Amino acid sequence: MEKLTVTIATCFILCSVLLLLPPSSNIFNRLKSNLTTTGSYDSKKPREKLLGGGLLATEFDDESCLSRYHQASLRKPSPHKPSVYLVSKLRSYEKLHKRCGPGSDAYKSATEKLGLKPGNGSESVGECRYIVWVPYSGLANRIISLVSVFLYALLTERVILVDQRSGISDLFCEPFPATSWLLPRNFPLLGGKKRDRFFDRRNSHRYGTMLKNSAPNLTETSLPSYLYLYLISDYSDDDKMFFCEEDQKTFIGEVPWLVVNSNIYFVPSLWLIPSFQTELIKMFPEKETVFHHLSRYLLHPTNQVWGLVTRSYNAYLARADERLGIQVRVFDRHAGYLQHVMDQIVACTQREKLLPELSTQVTNTSRSKRLLKVVLVTSLHPEYSVKLKRMFWEQPTSRGESIEVYQPSEERVQQTDKKLL
């Protein structure tokens, strides 16, 4: 449990300090220090400035999710302002979610009508249509697929509900005011033994399977009350028909309930659907800012996780003049430490002037203030940070900087599906 807790903190340190930087930043981007050592946000800053340029609703209780407002003080101001249309779209969505979300009469009615015979699907839920997100793979895959599904919900005016068996409520605050995005545990399609049967690839409600077995016969007269969408990295060509204009307009768009199992970032594919393009351009005039804005709107660590993040940040990162984040990921679960990967890291960071060259001569820097750069390393294996640390300990740098290396966790084996609590 201790290792898992540190792992979660590591992920959100990267999220808070590095991954949510403007899109023009890269993973090796240097971050000049403009933060307080306490990690608390500036109470003198107007509250609206802390709400992401209008992205966030104002109805929340600040204490219920401290990161919602603290995060703004832990990042450089974003040069990318959300469009007025995106902000209005989010406010409209929040109202829809409140009308149709869990606990509402509309939700109760919609779940009661699940399983209607084909042909009655489009009439089963009135204005409320739903998309249920069921995660797959590790936390990073879950985050990118969740943002993708939320964008699809915005485009199609569906209510997004997240499968809480994923432990999402342990990690993130509720993003929508006065309602919940958690799918109730008694949801009829995913309860008990039904759950395993539902995610069987041969499920007759899986869209790819339906196309493969009876593509010519799929019409509004055969419309089911729900569809299972398999959008995982090994999906078939039939599953990929989800991204086709005709399939969206004549069939998928009319089904009241969509259940999505995904581990991919499929936002780029949504731009290829002609009927979505106008809305997407209005919401995101800068195409590359989709994840930038939606992650800042949707993903706020819970108070428990935020405590882990800020305590770790204050202890190891806050004093730095510059911070550098390096994630080392080798796609071979049995690889362990690889020297040629270490050589690539050193060569790349020095070539791009992110880390300094080493010097063979010792210089007297005791009287001058030296630049402090902290390197945050995330990897399953500790050897990469140990080698970096030793490299800058054994020899001085060419410009006299002080280099500190910090790696919060080193599980060696990925802890997928392990919960924080």
Boundaries of every domain in the chain = 2-79+302-406, 84-283
Q: How confident is the model at residue 377 (pLDDT cuts 50, 70, 90)?
A: very high
Determine which of 113-122, 182-191, 395-404 has the lowest per-residue pLDDT on average. Answer: 113-122
Instruction: Decide if 231 contacts 137 (C-beta within 8 A).
Output: no
Cα–Cα dist 279/151, whole Å:
11
Cα–Cα dist 33/368, whole Å:
19
Q: How confident is the model at residue 413 (pLDDT cuts 50, 70, 90)?
A: confident
Tokens, residue 205: 């409600």
Indicate if the pLDDT at residue 198 is higher than 50: yes
Average pLDDT over residues 201-213: 84
Indicate if the pLDDT at residue 34 is higher than 70: no
Query: Which are the contacts of 419, defined by CB distance < 8 A and separation ≥ 6?
Result: 4, 167, 170
User: What pLDDT, on a 0 to 100 scale, did the predictor assign at position 26?
Assistant: 39
DSSP string, 99-128: HHSTTSHHHHHHHHTTTPPTT-GGGSSTT-
User: What pLDDT, on a 0 to 100 scale, did the predictor assign at position 33?
Assistant: 36
Indicate if the pLDDT at residue 99 is higher than 70: yes
Instruction: Decide if 405 contacts 385 (C-beta within 8 A).
Output: yes
User: What pLDDT, on a 0 to 100 scale, did the predictor assign at position 44?
Assistant: 45
User: What pLDDT, on a 0 to 100 scale, did the predictor assign at position 205?
Assistant: 87
CA atoms within 13 A on the CB side of 76: 17
Task: For tokens 């409140």, name the residue.
Answer: 98
For the segment 227-245, what is each residue's pLDDT rounded down to a tens digit? 999 999 999 999 999 999 9
For the segment 324-364, what is each residue's pLDDT rounded down to a tens digit? 999 998 877 677 889 999 999 999 999 999 999 998 776 66
Tokens, residue 42: 């500036």
User: What pLDDT, on a 0 to 100 scale, did the predictor assign at position 421?
Assistant: 53
Q: How confident is the model at residue 50 (pLDDT cuts 50, 70, 90)?
A: low
3-class DSSP assignment, residue 271 = coil
User: What pLDDT, on a 0 to 100 scale, did the predictor assign at position 39?
Assistant: 38
Average pLDDT over residues 24-46: 39
